[in-house]
A and B are shown apart, each in its own frame.
Chain A
Amino acid sequence: MFAVSAVTALIVLFMTLGLIERSTLIVETIPLRDLLFSGTWNPDQGEFGFAPFIIGTLYVTGLAMVLAIPPSILMAVYLAEYAPKRVRSIVKPLVDVLAGTPSVVCGLWGVLLIVPLIRDYLAPLVGIETTGYSVLAGGLVLAIMVCPIIVSITDEVIRAVPKAIKEASLAVGATKWQTIKHVVVRSAFTGIIAAIILGFGRAFGETMAVLMVVGNVPAIPNSIFAPAYPIPALIANDYGEMLTIPLYESALMFAAFLLLVIVFAFSVAASILLRGIKRKYVLEQAN
């Protein structure tokens, strides 16, 4: 059994090393500054500027988080503090089940509902012509995919706040809302941040759904109605060309490595925060 566990524990290592090894070619050929900051993406001519993709990824993910965080936290507060038992017992499992909808189906929904919505209603409101395949579409689809994660973790964290603290606050005369705003959310704050970070990590790596609605144009998007090209979409779309152009494969592996590093960073940050909360509450209860 130990051997099996040992193998599992080392998978992370193997993955990271594997990706590093296959990216070495392009990192040696093109200086890192050009790779990361140049805006020209022309693989046929050996120009691999990742800037449009990095910016595109940040743009879409950032928008998704801005769209997802407020409703998710409010919903979690509602479920944890206000909702009657019956509502919570229906909504929570429902959200958990729906959180498992496959990525392609969410992408399909995006193509069927969101893209036409943007093209026919939202963009004309602002007076812009667009195909609908845009940063906004990617952001909306990603936001709905990320909400269940944020809601689920935030709900758990809020419920973990000891009753004594809430009762103490009510006892000194605060209203329920004041208690939530000043006491509960403050106590659960690190957990909420951790939930957001985990959501971020998921949003960064989400491939298929975003790929289907975001336009996939390798240029830096100049508005939320413009198409973008996030890193996972790049890897998914161009894997076919990988084996034909020699440096291309290495470039895509480098993109994958960048993605891995970002996602790991988020995951580690969230873990540290969540562990800090557990320690805090254990200490408090011991007192």
Chain B
Amino acid sequence: MEMSTLLVVGGLLSIVIVVLVKGAPSLSIAMLTQTSNGGYYLGKEGGILNAILGSLYLAGGATAIALAVSIPTALYLNEYASRSRFAGFTRNSLDLLWSVPSILYGVFGFIIMIYIGLGTSLLGGIIALSLLELPIMIRAMDEVLRSVPQGLREASYSLGATKLETATRTVVKQALPGLLMAVLLALGRALGDAASVLFTTGYTDSLPTSLFQPVASLPLAVFFQLGTPFPEVQQRAYASGFILLVIILSISIASRLLTTRFNRFVIK
């Protein structure tokens, strides 16, 4: 049994180690600060700044939209409609959506894009990614809000606060560390996802300039660089993978550390 644990943990760690070891040698400042020029995929100069910025814009935009939708939904489910059939129905739908593979979000985003006449663009990617993030964010927020002790809400009502005031001022403050973690969890997922942006955002060599132009993303940068026949470019793929992994792991670890820090403000 300990062997199984070692096997699984070892396997997971080996992912990190292999990518780190293979990627670090090809890492350079130029990669981080320059965009790719025409010849980049053929082995010439340049970097992946376009992909890094593109991913940040994509994930940032998607997280903002998802946040704007998730907080009202999670609050509504917990404060206003907690026992109703509507809440049950919504939670079930969200459970279903949670297990939908990301490529289907890409396909659905693509269908929406055709419907509204949008080409592959930053906006298309943001749509697909925010759909992807929604179930993750709402579910995590729902868990957090559920764990807020009912006594707290009742105390607030007994002091004369309305439902809205209780929800937005008391409950949210209590749940803040957990809500933050939910947001960062979803953000991490969006940054690393390739399948959903594959045909909604496309790929490009230039820096993101407008919502309606294709945009490069870090996971796709890794994918495309890996697929070239040039060993130097493949090396760069490892380095890009390294960068992506470092970004995502840092967000994950940072979110855990931040929540433990914020827990000071939470009433136990």
Contacts and interface: CB of A to CB of B under 8 A. Distances in A.
Interface stretch (A42-50, A144-152, A276-284): A144-152
A71 B95 CA distance: 26
A151 B95 CA distance: 19
Contacts of B199: 239-240
Contacts of B198: 236, 239
Interface in A202-227: 202, 204-208, 212
A205 B9 contact: no
Contact of B8 (A4, A8, A151, A267): A151
A100 interface: yes
A99 B8 CA distance: 11
B24 interface: no
Interface string B111-124: 11000000000000
Given A79-B5, A105-B241, A205-B104, A271 B193 contact: no
- Give chain B's interface secondary structure class: helix
Interface string A237-274: 00110000000000011001001100110111001000
Given A8-B93, A9-B90, A108 B238 contact: yes
Given A105-B192, A198-B99, A111 B90 contact: no
Interface string A35-71: 0000000000000000000000000000000000011
Interface stretch (A88-96, A156-164, A165-173): A88-96
Interface in A75-103: 75, 77-79, 82-83, 91, 93-95, 97-103
B223 A264 contact: no
Interface in A10-32: 10-12, 14-15, 18-19, 22
Nearest to A240: B199
A201 B102 CA distance: 12
Interface string B165-188: 000000000000000000001001
Contacts, number: 225
Contact of A263 (B11, B13, B101, B245): B101
B93 A102 contact: no
A8 B73 contact: yes
B1 A82 contact: yes
Nearest to B102: A207
Contacts of B195: 103, 207-208, 232, 236
A75 B245 contact: no
Contacts of B72: 1, 4-5
B103 A108 contact: no
A205 B101 contact: yes
B267 interface: no
Interface of B: 1-5, 7-9, 11-16, 18-19, 22, 69, 72-73, 75-77, 80-81, 86, 89-90, 92-104, 107-108, 110-112, 131, 134, 138, 185, 188-189, 191-195, 198-199, 219-220, 222-223, 226, 237-238, 241, 244-245, 248-249, 252-253, 256
15 contacts: A5-B77, A5-B86, A8-B134, A12-B93, A19-B107, A72-B8, A82-B2, A91-B5, A93-B256, A100-B192, A103-B219, A108-B222, A109-B18, A112-B22, A232-B103
Interface of A: 1-2, 4-5, 7-12, 14-15, 18-19, 22, 70-72, 74-75, 77-79, 82-83, 91, 93-95, 97-109, 111-113, 144, 147-148, 151, 198, 201-202, 204-208, 212, 232, 235-236, 239-240, 252-253, 256, 259-260, 263-264, 266-268, 271
